Amino acid sequence: MGRIFTQRAINLSVSPTTEMAVKSRALQQAGYDVVDMSAGVPDFDTPDEIKDAASAALAAGYTKYSPIPGIPILREAIAAKLKRDNGLDYKPTEIVVSNGAKQSLANVCMAFLEPGDEAIIIGPCWPAYANMIEFAGAKSVFVPTQLENGFHIDINILANSVNSATKLIILNSPSNPSGVIYTREELEALIALIRKNPDIWILSDEIYNMILFGGVHVSPASLPYGFERTVIINGLSKAFSMTGWRVGYTAAPAPVAAILSKIQAVLTAGANSFVQHAAAFALNEMESASRMMRDSYLERRDMTVSLLRAIPKIKVHTPDATFYAFPDVSAYFGSEYNGIVIRDADDMATYLLDKGFVAIVSGVEFGTPNHIRLTFSISHDNIRKGIARIADMLEKLHRSRKEKQPCQKKVF
Ligand SMILES: Cc1ncc(COP(=O)(O)O)c(C=O)c1O
């Protein structure tokens, strides 16, 4: 029989987060009280004013196809936001609006990568990058960072991963899952590296740049020589609690914007027309709502980190941004509870859900198998309850390992 599906489609991996979400929902439907700390979703409703702007746009008849790269008022609002927040000078014509930042990422990978190419991802990182790179036929090259260095980039390791096949370096600052914000110095070192390698572009995913807890977010495009070789990705999902609205965008020099727009014309055409009007309103008028959400995450971040720090043997750093905590739980690997052995973060995630009824995401998914990711954009009560359950389940592992030791001693 001939081939039905392409290898690139077959090779796509289904995210374990999705599997965990399905399992967590099934447990909840069966009547279990599950604390879900797995999803990357703000817990606020989209502000009413933004909903009203969408309703007004609908009522005004914005229900037809929109221009492929986005409606002018939204592209202007995005250019103004980039100027305000990052001191960047993009023309509205250098902005391409898409159906979420995920589509922007797909557009960029399709534009820059083909078989034989390599793209560097800096881990721990969002798993969609590797999937998308490979879907475009290229190879993803994983460059790790370490908790001990606050997940900052080691430019020497990065430089050693560059070769003549490298076409893209994907940055995500602030980072999902680590919450690190790359410093100006680190970005300058990176730009010095790409200056020496004229075929390499930076893809800078800045989707968490309105959820900062202090610190300054620097876009590589704002640095000398950065603008010419950077494609920025951003969107409204996280900053305005608009994950379901599907608005993302790229900002890049005009020839890049033109090719991204051409790809989008083939794949999906312009984004939802009335949603774009609401998105322009959000960017122009609703920054204070976004700041209010950020303040609330900051309070919950502090609570989450201090509760996690009280658990023996967990190593946790304080994220500078985002709504994720990313503790190292590897001290518990090799222990067991009632015959369930915890070898890595995947086992830990399954154990915490099946036995502790708390859903988290395994670090394996982000390329960092010693860690787990917990979302703290949930209620204070649920943060307390979820972390208490994690502490309890780890304590059980702890005990079972202690109980095993005398027995091991007897054997040896
Ligand atoms: C780092 C990162 N980039 C992009 C996205 C996707 O954003 P959007 O909802 O605009 O597709 C996510 C969503 O989780 C993310 O974590």
235 lines ligand 1 (CB under 6 A): yes
Which atom, in ligand 1's list, is nearest to the CA of 172?
Answer: 1
Which residue segment(s) compose the domain that 304 sits in?
Answer: 7-45+289-402
Task: State in Å: Cα 164 to ligand 1 middle.
Answer: 29
CATH of the domain at 24: 3.90.1150.10
Band of the pLDDT at 16, cuts 50, 70, 90? Answer: low
Tell me: do 137 and 163 sit in the same domain: yes
Does residue 308 sit within a domain? yes
Band of the pLDDT at 409, cuts 50, 70, 90? Answer: very low
Give the total number of structural domains in the chain: 2
Tell me: do 121 and 255 sit in the same domain: yes
15 lines ligand 1 (CB under 6 A): no
E strand residue ranges, 94-240:
95-98, 118-123, 139-144, 166-172, 201-205, 230-235
pLDDT confidence of residue 346: 92
Residue where one domain finishes, among candidates 286, 311, 333? 286
Tell me: do 266 and 349 sit in the same domain: no
CA-wise closest residue to 360 among 29, 34, 32, 14:
34
Does residue 56 sit within a domain? no
Residue 378 one-letter amino acid: I
pLDDT higher than threshold 70 for residue 411: no
Tell me: do 226 and 278 sit in the same domain: yes
Residue 398 or 116, more confident? 116
Does residue 411 sit within a domain? no
pLDDT confidence of residue 365: 86
pLDDT in tens, 30-41: 999 999 999 889
40 lines ligand 1 (CB under 6 A): yes
Residue 70 one-letter amino acid: G
Tell me: do 255 and 178 sit in the same domain: yes
Task: State in Å: Cα 349 to ligand 1 middle.
Answer: 22
Does residue 2 sit within a domain? no
Band of the pLDDT at 399, cuts 50, 70, 90? Answer: low
Tell me: do 113 and 258 sit in the same domain: yes
177 lines ligand 1 (CB under 6 A): no
Tell me: do 244 and 353 sit in the same domain: no
175 lines ligand 1 (CB under 6 A): no
pLDDT confidence of residue 227: 96
Residue where one domain finishes, among candidates 286, 301, 334? 286
Tell me: do 208 and 318 sit in the same domain: no
pLDDT higher than threshold 70 for residue 400: no
Residue where one domain finishes, among candidates 267, 286, 305? 286
69 lines ligand 1 (CB under 6 A): no
Model confidence pTM above 0.75: yes
Q: Which residue has the tokens 């023309």?
A: 91
What mean pLDDT do residues 148-173 have? 96
Q: Which residue has the tokens 């608009």?
A: 242
CATH of the domain at 225: 3.40.640.10
